[in-house]
Structure 1
Amino acid sequence: MSKKPTIMVLGAGFIGSYLGAHLANKPDLCSVHLIGRQSYFTTLQSAGSLSATSQSGTTVTIPYEKLNLYDSVDAFCTAHPNVHPTYIIVTVKRITAHRAYADLKRWGENPNVTVVTMMNGVRAADEARDVLKGCDVNEGMWPFNVIETDTGHFEQASGGDVFVEDSEKGRVLAGIFRESGIPTQVSADMHGILYGKLLINLHNAISALTGLPIQQELSTRSARQVWAHCMSEALDIYRANGINPVSFLPHVPLSIIPYLLSLPNFLFLRLATRMLSIDPRATSSMYEDLRKGRPTEIEYLQGEIVRMGRECGIAAPVCERVVGLVKDVEGKGGLGNLTGEMILDALELI
């Protein structure tokens, strides 16, 4: 690719801001443009910069005046009427993805524009392809948590490599990410990777229902047991649908992870050191949604398992009840304050 690529990050939340800061730190590599809320950009202006710190402790800082910020795709197009993004990285919430895809329809017949979906759940790329029929749509997976520790400063809170689809444009993008300081791999099995990631994200609801940061949630056996039951249902439904998820714990078969999660603390805390190597301040995205009074993505997590189960005739009562519990809390406003035992009791598992 001879021309310096133009990268649009559509969704300047925690992930989009962390990614955007790293890309903006390499102006010779690419031109990056962030689309987000004007209210957020106003706070960035007050802070004077956008910065991001990796798990290794490396920090990049971009002065506010060097950032390309827009409150809509229309604003970007007005500022750059003759520019077509090389890559559009979609990091919005799944519940707003349909609006994002509608905004991108202006490039929907342009094969030189590559849309990369990096959102929770599965099938996001399929939904994008339905709308952007002429676009090159690639799947991506963002693995690690990001926290905002100060206004405009974002920190990596857990480990993992980003994955993008093993295509010509995907390989180029992976190289850009790596040179920007974001460990990235390509994979020909994004289907398996995304369904494996969905198993991880099933714990988001438990964090939100208990109001616990992730590390504290994972250190609580009853909370882990809820996750284990959700995961067991998901694995049964995966098998019935012929889905082979990629394990998120190297050399550990997915089939034994629910058993591992259910172990007493004195065993689990010894065996799961990698799973627990997460910043104690890290929270799940659903925790943050409830804390900020926003709609959650529960329909794309446990709700997706319920939907898949119905299609193949397998019930998922635990996942279905978790969906209901999250919606109850969502309706009341604020974080949940249930203990793991209370959730197990509500699920009729104790």
Structure 2
Amino acid sequence: MNFIVLGAGAIGCYVGGRLAAHGQSVCLVGRPHALQPIEQQGLKVTDLDGFDRTVPASALQLAATLADAAPSADSIILLCVKSGATESAARELVAACVPGTPVISLQNGVDNVARIAAMAPGLNVLAGMVPYNVVLRGAQVHRATAGHLQLQRDAVTERIAPVFNAAGLATVLPQDIRAVQWGKLLLNLNNPVNALSDLPLRQELLDRDCRRVFAALQTEALRVMARAGITPAQVTAVSPTLLPHVLRLPNWLFTRLAKRMLQIDATARSSMWDDLEAGRVTEIDALCGAVVRLAAQHGLAAPLNARMCALLGGPRQRLTGTQMRQVLGL
């Protein structure tokens, strides 16, 4: 199989690196400054379970654009760009890919597949969900939390799932990928909390005030989903409806009931924190913004998620959990 990773960031390099370490043909498409360290040093791929492998640059193809990657009829595109770059990626896909080319979106958010399909109706666009946090530093990519990739069920994904599993990318094909995406979005509502807190993920989750903000965003989103007739899938050990209650618990009880949630590398942070630090546009519109839009479609308001959109859309801010609660009126 010929895998082309469009968007050689943290997720793209981890998935592509694991596939390449397993002997698959992989091309990483990204900006020259991101690919240069890999070209010079190879790609070191590690995870919290002890996997540690360096894929030599000679075992990877590196390309600045999708056109340079020259997709063929047997190529499978793994789309890993940030949600804000979806339209520009779709234009690249239309220009470079033959009709019917499989494109698997491994992006955050719930709207990307529809947006790509609208711009590239001839392609086979499929949804995926990446559950874990991945950190990219230069030529090293590290998976810092656990979970299973979930891919939309299709003849293509039925063919590649065994390859992913053999490469150490534990993969399942759920019956309802849309429900899975909304379940993941509920978890991603912690991304803006983490970004504003300026704390590593584990430390932020041990801050009860930060968790209360996270829980409030989830509770509001669940109310909106219920009005829209959406039942989010359970993508963690705790059901979506129970998770806000668990998050609000005092630390002594939370740490006992949420041990798996706290199995995070000490230095891991959200991708939104990375974007803020680098001065990039964040994915807040694909996360909290999606809740706000869904609410409006069904005659509701989502003021807490709207406020987070405003906070992350302006100048860089750093707020404690207590300050966030005050800003949101909690």
TM-score where L is the length of structure 2: 0.96
Equivalence for 1:72 = 65
The 5 Å alignment of 1:14-53 reads 14-27=10-23, 30-46=24-40, 48-53=41-46
1:230 is paired with a residue of what secondary structure? helix
What is the CA–CA distance in structure 1 between the aligned matches of 2:97 and 2:20, rounded to whole Å? Answer: 26
- After TM superposition, the structure 1 = structure 2 runs for residues 247-258 of structure 1, keeping only pairs within 5 Å, are 247-250=234-237, 252-258=238-244
Aligned twin of 2:104: 116
For residue 181 of structure 2, the aligned residue among 178, 194, 202 is 194
d(CA) in 2 for partners of 1:6, 1:249: 31
1:108: how far off?
5.8
1:17-45 deviation per Cα after TM superposition (whole angstroms, max 9, x unaligned): 11111111233xx3211100111222223
SS at match of 1:320: helix
Q: Is the 8 A contact 2:25 2:60 kept in 1?
A: no
The Cα of 1:151 is off from its aligned counterpart by 3.0
The sequence identity of aligned pairs, in percent, is: 34
Pair 1:159-2:146 in alignment: yes
Q: Structure 2 unaligned segments of length 5 or more: list them.
A: none
TM-score between both structures, scaled by the size of structure 1: 0.91
- After superposition, the C-alpha distances for 1:138-192 in whole angstroms (9 at most, x for unaligned) are 11111101113x5311111001000111111111121111111111111121011
Determine the C-alpha separation between the residues in 2 that align with 1:224 and 1:129: 36
The secondary structure found in structure 2 opposite 1:187 is: coil
C-alpha separation in 2, matches of 1:274 and 1:170: 28
Calculate the aligned-residue CA RMSD, in Å.
1.4
Show the counterpart of 2:328.
347
Q: Partner amino acid for 2:187?
A: I
Alignment partner of 1:254: what SS?
coil
Aligned: 1:228 with 2:215: yes
Query: Counterpart amino acid of 1:295?
Result: V
**Correspondent of 1:97 among 77, 82, 86:** 86
1:18–1:51 Cα contact (<8 Å) kept: no
Which amino acid counterpart does residue 137 of structure 1 have in structure 2?
V
Q: Which runs of 5+ in 1 are unaligned?
A: none
Whether the 8 Å contact between 1:8 and 1:85 is mirrored in structure 2 is no
Aligned to 2:291: 305
* SS of residue paired to 2:173: strand
2:205 aligned with 1:182:
no
Task: Report how many aligned residue pairs link the two structures.
Answer: 330
